[in-house]
Amino acid sequence: MKPVIVSRSKVATLEPAIFEDDDALPDPEHASQDVAETFGDTLTAFTRELEIDPHLLERERILPPRAGGVHGGPYKAVYAYPAEHYAFWRKELSEDDLPWGAFGENLTTEGLDESAVRVGDRFRVGTAELSVTQPRVPCYKLGIRFGSPLMVKRFLNSRRTGFYFSVAQEGEVDSGDAIELLSRDTNSLTVADVFKLYAFDTNDRENLQRAVDLEALPDSWRGYFQEQLQRIAS
């Protein structure tokens, strides 16, 4: 089966609260912290075509100053989540009608998953070109979205993270569009590999070094993994 877009939301008008900071990786040991703050529903369904414009996306994600001021940034321009994960979550959450877009994704995909997608992979999606940058590590707002402070930990433990794209070439994307692989570095790590290093295999020297050397991985991740290597060496 060829990968396709199952559903999409209009990226620039999604509420920025569903995105996480690009420069701050949360501590996996404290992912289930209690949440006192509450928000309304941040997800909106759209029927128009999605126009992916990297400048518009970056501008729409400006927030009041907090860890640099830009919420999301170019390495988190588009969030994709596999449709195949919804069967798991509908059972796990006892929500048979869990709709596409429930995890705040801009694109719900079919035929791609974290173990098959590599950091740096470049895809043509509709008329846009997108490059895979990193897995999602959610902040506490995912717990707010689902009404449970434990949701962040459950999401992490499921390893069903989805993945972020940067925009290599702006264009339009609509439901049913094919996802075509344009280029791949076969020596790169998969999204699942990167997340496993972050949350589970934190002492894997060989792959930690591979992650540090991976130019397609954002600097915040490479710096984090460099710190882990230094921790192991000390």
Q: What is the pLDDT of residues 108-123, one digit of tens each?
A: 999 999 999 999 999 9
Mean pLDDT, range 114-133, rounded to an integer? 96
When pLDDT is cut at 50, 70 and 90, the band that residue 41 belongs to is very low
pLDDT at position 5 is: 86
72, pLDDT greater than 60: yes
Residue 78 domain-assigned (yes or no)? yes
The answer as to whether 231 is a domain residue is no
Amino acid at the residue 143:
G
pLDDT at 40 over 50: no
Q: Which residue has the higher pLDDT, 104 or 66?
A: 104
Q: Where does the pLDDT of residue 78 fall: very low under 50, low under 70, confident under 90, or very high at 90 and above? A: very high
DSSP 8-state code for residue 194? H
Q: What is the mean pLDDT of residues 198-221?
A: 97
Q: Is 185 buried (19+), middle (13-18) or exposed (0-12) by CB count in 10 A?
A: middle
201 vs 40, residue with greater confidence: 201
Q: Is the pLDDT of residue 152 over 90?
A: yes
For the residues 5-31, what does the mean pLDDT come to?
51
Domain-located, residue 91: yes
Give, in order, the Cα–Cα distances in Å from 97 to each of 34, 64, 101: 27, 35, 12
Q: Judge whether 218 lies within some domain.
A: no
217 occurs within a structural domain: no
* pLDDT of 91 over the 90 cut: yes
232 located within any domain: no
Number of domains in the chain: 1
For residue 83, what are the domain limits? Answer: 4-186
Task: Confirm whether pTM is higher than 0.75.
Answer: yes
Q: Does the pLDDT at position 76 exceed 90?
A: yes
Question: Is residue 209 in a domain?
Answer: no
Average pLDDT, the chain: 80
Residue 26's contacts (CB-CB under 8 Å, 6 or more residues apart) are: 20, 137, 139
Task: Give the CATH number of the domain where residue 106 resides.
Answer: 2.40.33
Return the higher-pLDDT residue of 65 and 192.
192
User: Is 221 a domain residue?
Assistant: no
Q: What is the pLDDT of residue 49?
A: 46
184 by Cβ neighbours in 10 Å (0-12 / 13-18 / 19+) ranks as middle
Tokens coding 34: 């209690």
